[in-house]
């Protein structure tokens, strides 16, 4: 019924949020939390969950009066047409940069691990082609295939955590004291901007049904995300130690590499690779959908799907043009990406909500 | 660069024909503008001689060393 209208359910939107945040989580969380909070880094999600739950409540409040709108429309209603369009344009520029960043990360990871002699342009082109067909086919097939991915990802995450349990040394994660409280709060600042992607999904709000259930499914998916993230940090810090993690490029990947079953089955990192490619594909495709939807809202266009080709060309060339190497990518995500994400997913929505309430529009 | 330009022109021509059939002028204008932007970005990227990237300039601008 929903599929016929080209719409997805709020549950499917929540699942898209879960899968699209996995890739940055695996890449950023272990190292960033340990850098700021040491062995207590695994507690950072406990602090980060409260503001993210509030964000879900905020998104829910945005759609109370305007069930059929998307977030761009809500911003236009709350801030007025001109200011609203300027703010949405800023979001659009950031989404394009962010998508270029994710495409480049994906290509660099493949280059440095399993395809060292392949052309960077070729790897980017293959992903763009896949995303192009996904965007042209609409949101419904993507949301459906994402449901399958979600199940696979949860099963493989639990499997990896169970297999990694024997490697955990409890002295690496225990002995946390009250003086760790402030570093843990600081460490949560690298988690909140990624979990804030929950807001981005609702730029597709006009294609999401049953938005009265945002709170219900938002809370549920955040609970799952909280458990999976905290387990990821426990097994990574527990088996590698905080000191080792701060010197390794991809700690979670290194931890998975050490897993072996009965001295026979090894190289579990292939599971992580497939997870990474899947989540990168979902992230890039969802962001492309969001960019198309924002453009449609800004210029009040009738057909959105034709915009997929210029947007993907801009993203593709942007991923080559914007970043030179992996070091620049990492510096950009840590020093510029995370603060701007925090601004766009936490500070601006709160400001828009307050202005909307004062103007009695929301 | 030639491959990129052929790609842009090929996709662009196909999409514009489809859009014209649907008779939505505003969409065609926005589509052509975006394609022009993609083309310019591509040409600048393929012809640039400077080693530094945009992200590098921004990071330097705010004095971040990496």
Provide the domain count of chain A: 1
Do A23 and A280 contact (CB within 8 A), yes or no?
yes
- CB spacing of B52 vs A324 below 8 angstroms: yes
Do A88 and A294 contact (CB within 8 A), yes or no?
yes
Query: For residue A278, what are its two tokens?
Result: 């899947």
- Per-residue confidence band for B66, with pLDDT thresholds at 50, 70 and 90: low
Q: Residue ranges of the domains in chain B?
A: 2-61
Q: What is the pLDDT of residue A274?
A: 85
In chain A, residues with a C-beta closer than 8 Å to the C-beta of B51 are: 324
In chain B, residues with a C-beta closer than 8 Å to the C-beta of A328 are: 53, 55-56, 59, 66
pLDDT digits (tens, 9 = 90+) for A88-106: 999 999 999 999 999 999 9
Q: What is the pLDDT of residue A71?
A: 93
- Minimal Cα–Cα distance from A5 to chain B, Å? 20
Degrees to nearest 5, angle at CA A331 with A326 and A334: 120
Q: For residue A283, what are the domain limits?
A: 3-358
Lowest mean pLDDT among A92-101, A289-298, B6-15, B29-38: B6-15
The CATH number given to whatever domain includes residue A171 is 1.20.1740.10
Q: What is the CA radius of gyration of chain B?
A: 17
Residue with tokens 């259930």: A213
Q: What is the pLDDT of residue B11?
A: 86
Do A357 and A79 contact (CB within 8 A), yes or no?
no
Nearest residue of B to residue A333, measured between CA atoms: B55
Q: Which residue, among B38, B39, B46, B64, would best test binding to A if mutated, counting the most A CBs under 10 Å from its CB? A: B38
End-to-end CA distance of chain A: 29
Distance, in Å, from the CA atom of A65 to the CA atom of A73, rounded to the nearest integer, reads: 12
- Minimal Cα–Cα distance from A305 to chain B, Å? 10
In chain B, residues with a C-beta closer than 8 Å to the C-beta of A322 are: 53-55
pLDDT digits (tens, 9 = 90+) for A45-88: 999 999 999 999 999 999 988 888 999 999 999 999 999 999 99
Do A204 and A70 contact (CB within 8 A), yes or no?
yes
**Following DSSP, what letter does each residue of A128-146 receive, concatenated?**
HHHHHHHHHH-HHHHHHHH
Residue with tokens 């601004």: A343
- In b/e form, how buried is each residue of A20-51, taking b as 16+ CB within 10 angstroms? bbbbbbbbbbbbbbbbbbbbbbbbbbebbbeb
Q: What is the pLDDT of residue A276?
A: 86
Q: Which residue, among B20, B55, B61, B64, would best test binding to A if mutated, counting the most A CBs under 10 Å from its CB? A: B55
Tell me, rounded to whole angstroms, the distance of Cα A227 from its chain centroid: 16
ipTM above 0.85? yes
Q: Count of residues for chain B?
A: 66
Q: From first to last of the 362 residues of chain A, give the pLDDT tens digit.
A: 555 578 999 999 999 999 999 999 998 999 999 999 888 999 999 999 999 999 999 999 999 888 889 999 999 999 999 999 999 999 999 999 999 999 999 999 888 878 888 888 899 999 999 999 999 888 999 999 999 999 999 999 998 889 888 888 888 888 788 888 999 999 999 999 999 999 999 999 999 998 899 999 999 999 999 999 999 999 999 998 888 888 887 888 888 887 877 777 777 778 788 888 999 999 999 999 999 999 999 998 887 788 899 999 999 999 988 888 888 888 899 899 999 999 999 999 999 999 999 998 88
Q: What is the pLDDT of residue A1?
A: 53
């Amino acid at each position: 019924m929903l599929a016929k209208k080209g719409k997805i359910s709020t549950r499917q939107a929540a699942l898209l949020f879960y899968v699209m945040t996995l890739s940055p989580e695996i890449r950023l969380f272990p190292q960033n939390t340990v850098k700021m909070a040491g062995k207590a880094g695994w507690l950072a999600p406990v602090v980060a969950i409260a503001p993210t739950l509030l964000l879900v409540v905020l998104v829910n409040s945005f759609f109370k009066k305007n069930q059929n709108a998307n977030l761009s429309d809500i911003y236009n209603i709350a801030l007025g047409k001109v200011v609203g369009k300027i703010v949405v344009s800023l979001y659009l520029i950031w989404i394009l940069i962010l998508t270029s960043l994710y495409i480049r990360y994906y290509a660099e990871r493949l280059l440095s691990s399993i395809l060292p002699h392949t052309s960077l342009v070729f790897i980017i082109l293959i992903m763009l082609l896949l995303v192009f067909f996904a965007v042209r086919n609409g949101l419904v097939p993507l949301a459906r295939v994402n449901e399958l991915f979600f199940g696979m990802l949860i099963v493989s995450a639990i499997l990896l955590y169970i297999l990694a349990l024997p490697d955990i040394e409890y002295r690496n994660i225990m002995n946390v004291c009250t003086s760790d409280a402030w570093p843990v709060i600081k460490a949560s600042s690298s988690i909140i901007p990624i979990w804030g992607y929950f807001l981005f999904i609702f730029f597709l709000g006009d294609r999401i049904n049953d938005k009265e259930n945002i709170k219900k499914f938002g809370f549920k998916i955040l609970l799952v995300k909280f458990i999976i993230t905290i387990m990821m940090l426990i097994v990574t810090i527990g088996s590698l130690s905080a000191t080792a993690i701060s010197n390794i490029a991809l700690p979670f990947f290194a931890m998975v590499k050490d897993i072996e079953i009965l001295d026979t089955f090894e190289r579990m990192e292939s599971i992580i690779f497939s997870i990474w490619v899947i989540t990168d594909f979902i992230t890039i495709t969802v962001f492309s959908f969001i960019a198309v939807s924002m453009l449609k809202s800004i210029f009040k266009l009738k057909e959105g799907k034709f915009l997929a080709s210029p947007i993907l060309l801009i993203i593709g060339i942007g991923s080559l043009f914007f970043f030179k190497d992996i070091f620049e990518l990492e510096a950009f995500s840590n020093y510029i990406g995370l603060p701007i994400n925090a601004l766009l997913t936490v500070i601006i929505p709160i400001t828009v909500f307050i202005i909307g309430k004062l103007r009695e529009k929301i | 660069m030639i491959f990129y330009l052929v790609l842009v022109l090929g996709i662009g021509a196909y999409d514009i024909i489809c859009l014209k059939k649907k008779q939505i002028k505003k969409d065609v204008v926005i589509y052509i503008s975006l394609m022009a932007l993609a083309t310019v970005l591509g040409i600048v990227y393929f012809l640039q001689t400077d080693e530094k990237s945009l992200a590098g300039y921004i990071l330097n601008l705010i004095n971040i060393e990496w």
